[in-house]
Structure 1
Amino acid sequence: MRITRLLTAVVSAAVLLPASATVASPASAATVGSYVALGDSYTSGPFIPAQRFDPVGCGRSTANYPSVLAAALHPKQFTDVSCAGADTTNMTRPQSVPFNGTNAPQLDALRVDTDLVTVGIGGNDYGVFGSLTSTCPGLRASDPTGNPCEKHFDGSVATTIENIGPRVELVLAAIRERSPKARVLLVGYPRIAPDKGYCPDVLPFADGDYAWLNSVEEKLNQTLSEAADADGAQFVDTFGPSRGHDACARGGSAWINGKDQNIFEAAAYHPLKAGMAGVAAVVLKSIR
């Protein structure tokens, strides 16, 4: 989920907004006082209009799921520090981003009175998703109907994902330490590939690797769910609810962009604006 190479092109379309926005509402006290959003590019929303400049290298959209969620919840304070390319280490360490920018350690946004936290993290650890999206498309030609990418990784991805769980558990424990009264939601990853059919023009994996890609995502989401259970956080499944909204979905139903970067819409293999709205609806249902 690392998408740093083309972020330069988005500067001209970006809109400057503060890192923390306060939204007044008569219902605020009865709902959420302070909401903090943490996460990687599946949270920040690179290239989804309108982009923010704080810093621009994070690809943070005003239409990402935390922003949509905040608009529905009307918190007194909403702080979104999600950043493209982030992994679990960037929860406690600064993250260097394009254009000589730096995103502060994301957990620094938490306060003792924070009462809602959403976090979407894990897919960048050990380069899991980045390795798949950079390697699999190039292997399709060697065996279009087979599973060359699965064979290439030879079981190593599943082992790697198992090592992500303890990292996420540490993140959740650190959130709990800084914001002990907060409701913490660990948001999973929506599906990229369909459960049936293929669309190599959009998702150029070999046919047999579609099922494997789904199994990798299911493994990652299961690992995240177990991490949430271990900490007492709430896991929000977006893989199941995104069925029929994968990158192959037609007629505007897709939540996920395919292989083509679109600097005015979404990064390759990343959520579209519709996907952010869909994930926000799933998270909101979990909250309510």
Structure 2
Amino acid sequence: MRSRRSLTAVLVSVFVLAFMPPTTAVAAPLAPTHYVALGDSYTSGPLIPFQRLDQIGCLRSTNNYPSVVARRLGHTVLTDVSCAGADTTDMTQRQELAIGYNPPQFDALRPDTDLVTIGIGGNNYSVFGSAIDTCPALRESDPTGSPCREHFTVDGVDTLKAAIERTRDDVEEVLVGIRQRSPEATILLIGYPRIAPPHGTCPDILPFADGDYAWLNDIEETLNAALATAATNSGTGTTFIDTYPASLGHDACSDHAWIQGKTLNPIGAAHYHPNRWGMEGVAEVILDHLGDRSR
């Protein structure tokens, strides 16, 4: 979730390559046999150890939530094609990267795919990238006010929220495309975990003006609501997996943060992105849903 292509180029310059052997998992009943993970950087896991060699520019971690889910399910073949910088257009078109390109993510889908997770939408129309690139610079102008909300409000209209309305339609189209290619799959649309706390501030970690914390939460909640509506409207039987409630108390300001703050950690997480604990937390929400479904 960030500026569409620029963050990938920055991250590749500090990229640390390593391998991690898969852990042994106990087989779970009714475990899917072919799991495809689609999505953006909140799925791929930039800089979370250990990073995969395929495709380097996508910054996929062996400990992102698809990998955790697949290991925990057991008897599951994971095809992870998530990629940093992806938006909905990259489902059907190849994605240009700082190094090479990622093929259309839909190429991974098969008629016999059992499970699909997709985390997408934050990069559409640069919603989160615009906020992250703009808001910290505006804090100094009005540290206790809401300069970023004011910046993105034009003639009384929040332009980022207006963009999210368009994102909902784009995601609906993507969900229909998944169902067409994998008609028997369980499709889970994964929401975004919270970045900012509901109360209080931590400008050294999350350098937004005090009043813009509530606005940032509002933008995230609006996006997640749009994704939930897209899942309902798509007519595909898709389930929206809301990770926002589970991430309460794990925002960037917390002692047990799921989200990295403003400072990039070259061996831990990209700035304003999930760390390993965040990926494990999202995986738990997904596994809880799959466990309930199997009962």
Superposition TM-score tier, normalisation by shorter sequence: over 0.9
Deviation at 1:15, TM superposition (A): 2.9
* Whole-angstrom distance in 1 between the partners of 2:115 and 2:242: 17
Change (3 A) 1:33 1:158: same
Equivalent position amino acid for 2:11 in 1: L
Residue of structure 1 equivalent to 2:71 = 71
Contact 1:25 1:76 in 2 (8 A): no
Contact 1:36 1:116 in 2 (8 A): yes
Residue of structure 2 equivalent to 1:150 = 149
Residue of structure 2 equivalent to 1:8 = 12
Equivalent position amino acid for 1:58 in 2: C
Residue of structure 2 equivalent to 1:249 = 254
Residue of structure 1 equivalent to 2:138 = 139
Tell me, yes or no, if structure 1 residue 214 matches structure 2 residue 213.
no
1:29-108 correspondence runs (5 A): 30-99=30-99, 101-108=100-107
Tell me, yes or no, if structure 1 residue 123 matches structure 2 residue 127.
no
Deviation at 1:7, TM superposition (A): 2.2
Tell me, yes or no, if structure 1 residue 201 matches structure 2 residue 200.
no
Deviation at 1:28, TM superposition (A): 6.6
* Whole-angstrom distance in 1 between the partners of 2:64 and 2:26: 24
Change (3 A) 1:108 1:24: farther
* Whole-angstrom distance in 2 between the partners of 1:245 and 1:209: 19
* Whole-angstrom distance in 2 between the partners of 1:25 and 1:285: 17
Deviation at 1:210, TM superposition (A): 0.1
Equivalent position amino acid for 2:13 in 1: A
* Whole-angstrom distance in 2 between the partners of 1:266 and 1:75: 29
Contact 1:165 1:226 in 2 (8 A): yes
Provide runs of 4+ in structure 1 moved above 3 Å. Answer: 23-30
* Whole-angstrom distance in 1 between the partners of 2:24 and 2:143: 54
CA deviations over 1:148-185 (Å, ceiling 9, x no partner): 00000001111110000110001000000000000000
Contact 2:70 2:76 in 1 (8 A): no
1:169-248 correspondence runs (5 A): 169-231=172-234, 232-248=237-253
1:269-280 correspondence runs (5 A): 269-280=272-283
Contact 1:7 1:98 in 2 (8 A): no
Change (3 A) 1:141 1:176: same
Structure 2 unaligned segments of length 5 or more: list them: none
Q: How many percent identity over aligned positions?
A: 57
Contact 2:25 2:71 in 1 (8 A): no
Residue of structure 2 equivalent to 1:114 = 113
* Whole-angstrom distance in 1 between the partners of 2:75 and 2:189: 19
Contact 1:28 1:76 in 2 (8 A): no
* Whole-angstrom distance in 2 between the partners of 1:149 and 1:206: 8
Q: Count matched residues.
A: 281
* Whole-angstrom distance in 2 between the partners of 1:40 and 1:17: 22
Contact 1:43 1:65 in 2 (8 A): yes
Q: Matched residue of 1:129: which SS?
A: helix
Q: Matched residue of 2:260: which SS?
A: coil
